[in-house]
């Protein structure tokens, strides 16, 4: 069976660090073409992947069987819709859209055209998240009462670019960027949200979008999720702190897969995604606890799921409707921060 030809739109961090290496490592996929206006990047994709570098999206459609949208956030909806209109299945990097309404529009269009639409929520395959999900499933914590989750960085000097300097039309800021992952993970673990409260600030000069945000979600089942995203955290809190009726789980340090990909480690190489023992989390109480091995990270499962969906008709690895649900929560968080209120969701 011939490989599925993949057309990748965008070769910035998302395209170059995450999508291209994962596509290359996935049996059944071939990176056929990459759209980037940068001549050096076009040369890189030819040398590294044997892919054609294209300067315009219009040159892509006839060269691929699957489109991956990894371009700036403001372009996600228009590019995904253009691919779907041509009958091409689509992977969209998070966030799927700026609003839930736009997201639902894409979902409806994909259903009407009978093509697959999925969203690259790769943090569902973080090793630490998989560990939390396993512990909750095993009732190792008892009943979960509070879920604390952080993506914190120390970047007192802005890096620049549209994620930091762009206004609302760019769909920038940490709430849409890293916050998309934290909200998605909380929804995957604890289900629908009843109330949303948010504090969101711009802390650094020269930045136009949020760089220090805190969100509280009250889930319908009673769990409260406390979520932090920040570029101005000089000392980092735990990546996860999950408090239950019988025990707690505390884990420091980020999942290692992004670090490996940035260093050029092939995602199908031996040991990829394995956390160092010194970084494993702790389960228990102050009086009695034990170290818990971190589950291996598995970003490769996403694109393996895409291949299965296209060839075998299985469900896509991420249901796009779940991404729209997360967008509804993010919109509520923005409203909460702007108005200083708790927002109730129906």
Query: Averaged over 308-312, what is the pLDDT?
Result: 98
Structure tokens at 103: 């997201």
Query: Averaged over 305-333, what is the pLDDT?
Result: 98
Query: Averaged over 93-108, what is the pLDDT?
Result: 97
CATH 3.40.50.720 fits 4-122+301-313, yes or no: yes
What is the predicted pLDDT for the residue at 207? 92
Instruction: Provide the pLDDT confidence category of residue 1 given band limits of 50, 70 and 90.
Output: confident
Other Cβ atoms less than 10 A from the Cβ of 116: the count is 18
What is the predicted pLDDT for the residue at 159? 87
Q: Which residues contact 339 (CB under 8 A, 6 or more apart)?
A: none
Q: Could you give the CA distance from residue 229 to residue 144 in angstroms, rounded to a whole number?
A: 22
Query: Averaged over 27-51, what is the pLDDT?
Result: 97
DSSP strands (E only) in 176-230? 193-201, 212-219, 224-230
Query: Averaged over 307-323, what is the pLDDT?
Result: 98
What is the predicted pLDDT for the residue at 163? 86
For tokens 């969101």, name the residue.
Answer: 200
Architecture (CATH level 2) of domain 123-299+328-344: 2-Layer Sandwich (3.30)
What is the predicted pLDDT for the residue at 101? 97
Q: Where are the domains of the chain?
A: 4-122+301-313, 123-299+328-344
Taking each helix axis as running N to C, give the angle between helix 76-85 and helix 100-113, from 0 to 180 degrees, rounded to the nearest 10. 10
Q: pLDDT tens across 116-170, in order?
A: 999 999 999 999 999 999 999 999 999 999 999 999 999 999 988 888 877 777 8
Per-residue burial over 235-263, b = 16 or more CB atoms within 10 Å of its CB, e = otherwise? ebebbbbbbbeebbbbbbbbbbbbebbee
Sign for the CA dihedral angle at 262, 266, 268, 269 comes to negative
What is the predicted pLDDT for the residue at 323? 98
CA distances, 129 to each of 31, 66, 87, 147, 250 (Å): 29, 28, 34, 12, 12
Q: pLDDT tens across 232-265, in order?
A: 999 999 999 999 999 999 999 999 999 999 999 9
What is the predicted pLDDT for the residue at 65? 98
Q: pLDDT tens across 170-213, in order?
A: 899 999 999 999 999 999 999 999 999 999 999 999 899 999 99
Q: Could you give the CA distance from residue 121 to residue 314 in angstroms, rounded to a whole number?
A: 18
Which burial class, exposed, middle or buried, applies to 315 when counting CB atoms under 10 A from its CB (0-12, 13-18, 19+)?
Answer: exposed
């Amino acid at each position: 069976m011939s490989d599925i030809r993949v057309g990748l739109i965008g070769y910035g961090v998302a395209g170059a660090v995450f999508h291209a290496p994962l596509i290359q490592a996935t049996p059944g996929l071939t990176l056929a073409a990459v759209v980037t206006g940068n001549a050096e990047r076009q040369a890189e994709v030819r040398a590294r992947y044997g892919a054609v570098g294209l300067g315009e999206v219009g040159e892509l459609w006839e060269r691929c069987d699957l489109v991956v949208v990894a371009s700036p956030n403001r372009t996600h909806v228009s590019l995904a819709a253009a691919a779907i209109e041509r009958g091409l299945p689509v992977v969209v990097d998070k966030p799927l859209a700026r609003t839930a309404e736009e997201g639902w529009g894409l979902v409806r269009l994909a259903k009407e055209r009978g093509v697959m639409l999925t969203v690259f929520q790769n943090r569902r395959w973080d090793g630490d998240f998989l560990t939390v999900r396993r512990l909750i499933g095993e009732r190792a914590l008892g009943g979960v009462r509070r879920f604390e989750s952080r993506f914190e960085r120390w970047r007192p000097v802005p890096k620049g670019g549209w994620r930091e300097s762009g206004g609302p039309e760019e769909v920038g800021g940490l709430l849409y960027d890293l916050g998309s992952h934290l909200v998605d993970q909380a929804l995957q673990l604890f289900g629908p949200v009843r109330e949303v409260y948010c504090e969101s600030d711009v802390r650094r000069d020269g930045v136009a979008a949020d760089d220090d945000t805190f969100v509280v979600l009250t889930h319908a089942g009673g769990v409260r999720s406390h979520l932090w995203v920040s570029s101005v955290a000089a000392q980092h809190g735990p990546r996860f702190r999950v408090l239950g009726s019988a025990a707690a789980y505390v884990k420091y340090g980020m999942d290692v897969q992004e670090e490996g990909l940035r260093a050029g480690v092939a995602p199908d190489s031996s040991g990829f995604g394995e956390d160092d023992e010194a970084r494993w989390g702790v389960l228990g109480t102050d009086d009695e606890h034990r170290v818990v091995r971190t589950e291996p990270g598995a970003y490769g499962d996403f694109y393996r799921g895409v291949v299965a969906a296209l060839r075998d008709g299985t469900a896509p690895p991420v249901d796009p409707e779940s991404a729209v649900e997360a967008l509804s929560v993010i919109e509520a968080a923005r409203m909460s921060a702007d108005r200083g209120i708790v927002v109730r969701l129906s």
